[in-house]
Amino acid sequence: MKKRILAVGAVLVLTLGLLTACGGNQNSGNSEEASGEESSVRVAVVINQKFGDNGPMDDLAEGVARAEKDFDITVKKLESESAAKFEEDIRAMSADYDLVITTFPYMTDATVLVAGEYPDTNYAAIFQFVNVGDTSIPNIWDTEFHGEQAFYINGYIAGKMTRSGTVGMIIGGEEPSPNAEGNGFMLGVKAANPNATVEFAYVGSYEDPAKAKEIASAMISKGADVLQTDAGASNAGVVEAAKEADILVSGEITDFWNTHEGFFGVIGIGFGDTAYKAIEMQVNGNFNGGVHGIRDLSNGGYFMDWETYERFAEANPDFVPILEEAKALEKKIEAGEVEVPFNTEVPNWEIISAQ
């Protein structure tokens, strides 16, 4: 960990006096302290999506904010505008920060390259695949997220709730873990309702609500009366389509209950919890570099936000027995009685239903 010792002298005294008088200066996206005293650990968060998504980036920011309250750290947050900027932005933070947090596989190449240039800086590569196979980079801790178990539970709920026999599943982009979530969801639908049909589509973006709404509307026109979305900020478009059609919908991370009372529950993802853990390791001097971690239903990487489902049950008593079945199903999964494979193939209902 880099140590910075402030020189004591007349210039510093004058600077502190000016800062105290002015109340400091905070730039947008930068939560560095302006007290005139640097904290012991400096953390940079460089993300490839925008904050304000009511989704994974905001959840990550919340976890970092919790760490700011609990530990002696300074934080700078930076939205990297495009793939062409990833390397430059990560490098710019690496010289002056002890821990750099990056997000998603899109940033992996840049993270690995810059980590080699700054061996004394640690990197938390969230939802990335770095230390796999024979690869072990000592200053990178990377984590992947397995949500297939949580989405299996929601698929089971959807299979029980559908009246038309048609359910829709919408994912932001074609990636291994989201694919596994889609397959888990389909398996859950099949377990609850083998005669059902699951319509599936990618948005192609986690930040395109308009396209997501168009896809959802097309599924609704085919008879879908329950939708599951797994598309970040694009979820808003799916919920809007569900509201206009007055059908049921569920999503991940973001709670849309105030938008649509047919929104029946939230699958939580621990982006913020993972960022918090990375910061905690850095602060405690036991950063788990060279290791690839898996975050899933067993360790808070994913979780069922049962309070949101219970709220829906209070307004819809017919949902109560389905909710109890779903909670019992979670316990069976945790006990190993129900196994949900991590299948990263493109979700295909015909293949799932034939199994």
State yes or no: pLDDT of 4 exceeds 80. Answer: no
CATH superfamily of 148-268+301-354: Response regulator (3.40.50.2300)
Give the pLDDT confidence of 41-51 residue by residue, as tens digits: 999 999 998 89
In the beta sheet, which residues pair with residue 251?
Answer: 266
How would you classify the pairing of strands 166-171 and 248-252? unpaired
How high is the pLDDT of residue 308? Answer: 97
CA distances from 62 to 20, 55, 277, 303, 322 (A): 28, 11, 13, 16, 32
Give the pLDDT confidence of 62-98 residue by residue, as tens digits: 999 999 999 999 999 999 989 999 999 999 999 999 9
pLDDT (average), residues 231-243: 95
User: Cα–Cα distance between 264 and 257 in angstroms, integer?
Assistant: 8
Q: Which residue, 346, 261, 342, is CA-closest to 301?
A: 342
**Torsion angle of the four alpha carbons 304, 308, 312, 315, in this order, in degrees rounded to the nearest 10:** 150
How high is the pLDDT of residue 125? Answer: 98
How would you classify the pairing of strands 263-269 and 302-305? antiparallel
Please state the pTM of the whole predicted model: 0.77
Give the pLDDT confidence of 299-310 residue by residue, as tens digits: 889 999 999 999
State yes or no: pLDDT of 24 exceeds 80. Answer: no
Lookup: tokens for 120: 């004394």
**What is the fold, at CATH topology level, of the domain defined by 27-146+271-295?**
Rossmann fold (3.40.50)
Answer yes or no: same fold for 27-146+271-295 and 148-268+301-354: yes
pLDDT top residue among 178 and 16: 178
Of the given ranges (7-11, 36-40, 113-117, 172-176), which has the lowest mean pLDDT?
7-11
Q: Which residue, 97, 132, 103, 141, is CA-closest to 118?
A: 97
How high is the pLDDT of residue 52? Answer: 85
Task: Give residue limits of the domains in the chain.
Answer: 27-146+271-295, 148-268+301-354
Question: Residue 207 — pLDDT band, cuts 50, 70, 90?
Answer: confident
Q: What is the number of helices (H) and of strands (E) in the chain?
A: 12, 12
